[in-house]
């Protein structure tokens, strides 16, 4: 068994297992993984869809000399590219893609934070601007009443 662990944002993990499986047997391999959190810039345009995890590749050897039931090589072994050094046919089977659903972020949160922060800054700036530009003067009420009564 060869296992190469993944590097975050670098490469996926790889596992290679060599098995000898008898005929008409059933083999189940399970691989568990942890769902990680991605940066908000690493999400695809449709974050609700999830992420594709690559297929498993199963390679096996069909050797017609070891199998007396085979009268001729199967059709997928007719190419010379599929032949090994001893004449055995190497067959590769690919599994289906796996769609992993990860935690979907709330992309409206940055908008809400920006809106809230700008509102607070606008209120703060408005008060400071009023305090700095307004001309404050002391008003004497008695003198103002006396002036208004003399003009009448």
E-assigned strand segments in 1-152: 2-4, 14-16, 51-53, 57-62, 89-94, 98-100
Look at residue 61 and give its three-state secondary structure. strand
pLDDT at 69 (0 to 100): 57
pLDDT higher than 60, residue 74: no
Note whether 50 and 101 are within 8 A (CB). Answer: yes
pLDDT higher than 90, residue 116: yes
Note whether 82 and 76 are within 8 A (CB). Answer: yes
Note whether 78 and 93 are within 8 A (CB). Answer: no
Tokens encoding 72: 């001729």
Q: pTM score, two decimals?
A: 0.46
Most confident of 41-45, 80-84, 103-107, 127-131: 127-131
Spatial CA neighbour of 83 closest among 64, 57, 105, 68: 64
């Amino acid at each position: 068994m060869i296992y190469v662990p993944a590097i975050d944002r670098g490469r996926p993990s790889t596992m290679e297992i060599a098995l000898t499986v008898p005929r008409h047997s059933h083999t189940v391999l399970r691989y568990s993984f942890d769902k990680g959190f991605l940066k908000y810039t690493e999400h695809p345009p449709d974050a609700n869809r999830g992420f594709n995890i690559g297929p498993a590749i199963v390679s096996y050897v069909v050797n017609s000399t070891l199998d007396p039931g085979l009268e001729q090589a199967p059709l997928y072994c007719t190419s010379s590219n599929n032949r090994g050094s001893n004449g055995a046919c190497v067959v590769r089977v690919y599994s289906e893609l796996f769609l992993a659903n990860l935690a979907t972020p709330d992309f409206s949160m940055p908008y809400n934070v920006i809106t809230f922060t700008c509102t607070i800054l606008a209120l703060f700036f408005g008060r400071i601007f009023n305090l700095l530009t307004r001309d404050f003067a002391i008003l004497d009420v008695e003198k103002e009443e006396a002036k208004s009564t003399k003009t009448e």
